[in-house]
Amino acid sequence: MNKRFVIGLASGSSVDGVDAVLAEIQGIGLDMSFQPLLALHQPYARDLRDLLQRVGTQGQLEMRSAALLHRLLGETFAAAARQVADRASMSLQEVQCLGCAGHTIWHEPEGRFPSTFALGMSATIAERTGVTTISDFRARDLALGGQGVPLAALADYLLFHSPSENRTLIHLGGLARIVHLPAGGRPHSTIGFEAVACNLLLDGLIRRLTGGREQYDPGGKNGVQGRCLDALLERWLAHPYLQRRPPKSVPRHCFAEEFIAQSVHMARQQGCSVNDLLCTATHFVARAIAGAVRRFLPLDTLSGRALVSGGGARNGLLWRLLEQQLQGTTLEKTDCYGVSADARKALGFGVLAALTVDGVPANLPSATGASGSRLLGNITPGSSANWARCLAWMAAETAPLAMVA
């Protein structure tokens, strides 16, 4: 009864590729239960990755390149969706809907006119897959005065909340995001925010220090061989963003190219090695995350459990430093709860798509700071048959208002 299949797609600010998840969902609205069936990672082609990295560091993209990138990312997302269904031996005709937030190249939630812009042509995805595609989730939250992140906090609540245990989700992607789920809490008691840059900083440093020969520090093997530069660490920890109260999201320029260039210049003047700078940056990420947990979450948070996801969960040095900084907290990967650490973000967008089809407002003002809750995303119909099934579902199964509160 009420069983369906959805696909979630995600492209993080680490710019390494697309994560795709195929999931089975039972139930509707806040009574959903999920079973991830298969997840995969599809790396970007080198030319596409290089272009995305240039956009991320320079913040500029001429119109022809933007349009081309929009289309190419749409094709890439569609290919990942087809591949995850193929590997699961499932026809895309069995999939109800697909959630894809696209690749964010601009996100500025402050100022008079907050704005966000993500690339990945949803029409291409819907055309290539035949599956109704829900995209551009963040824009509605920004229109309500929210930060637009962490947008999948309701999905995290549905996937991980516990009636008896405090759980804090730490996503170590391009940016470090925190979502706190109090024991026995309701969705509106969820707290969320971005703590600091993570792989955006660590990967940016190693690319600059190696002239682009290396894209990241696998497992933290370089950082663990260095020494922490205490003076530089303390300077970084004094950054004004770390003192701001949530809800908040990391301005991309704060820890991007200029910040990295200045840090590298300072380290070289002091005769420090590549490993020293990576070690210091890893200490910084761990200290900033732990500081945010202590400063902005309830006092009993440290006695609970922290569930870690994202590519940074594979960084052994970062993991060990987080364990040291969050003493008393049990640190585990989300894999222990049925959701791959690499797939949590993509699964979240699949859940958001399902909530939209169910008529459930999915942004949580307690996490994003929005003035209210709304249905999220733009809907691009898939094939005629798929869209007809979606319409029939929405007419027959839309969650009653009592399930949305």
Question: What percent of the chain is predicted at pLDDT more than 70?
Answer: 97
Tell me what the mean pLDDT of segment 28-41 comes to.
94
All structural domains of the chain:
3-154+342-403 (3.30.420.40), 165-337 (3.30.420.40)
- How much is the mean pLDDT over the chain? 93
Tell me what the mean pLDDT of segment 371-390 comes to.
97
Which of 47, 43, 61, 40 has its CA nearest to residue 118? Answer: 61
Tell me how far apart the alpha carbons of residues 6 and 10 are, in angstroms, rounded to a whole number.
14
**Residue whose entry in the numeric block shows the structure tokens 């680490």:** 14
Q: pLDDT at residue 266 above 90?
A: no
Q: pLDDT at residue 201 above 90?
A: yes
Tell me what the mean pLDDT of segment 349-376 comes to.
96
Over residues 291-332, the pLDDT tens digits come to: 999 999 998 888 899 999 999 999 999 999 999 999 999 999
State pTM to two decimals.
0.94
- Which residues 6+ apart lie within 8 Å of 142 measured at CB? 109, 114, 115, 116, 148
Tell me what the mean pLDDT of segment 202-209 comes to.
90
| CB 331 within 8 Å of CB 308 | yes
Q: pLDDT at residue 405 above 50?
A: no
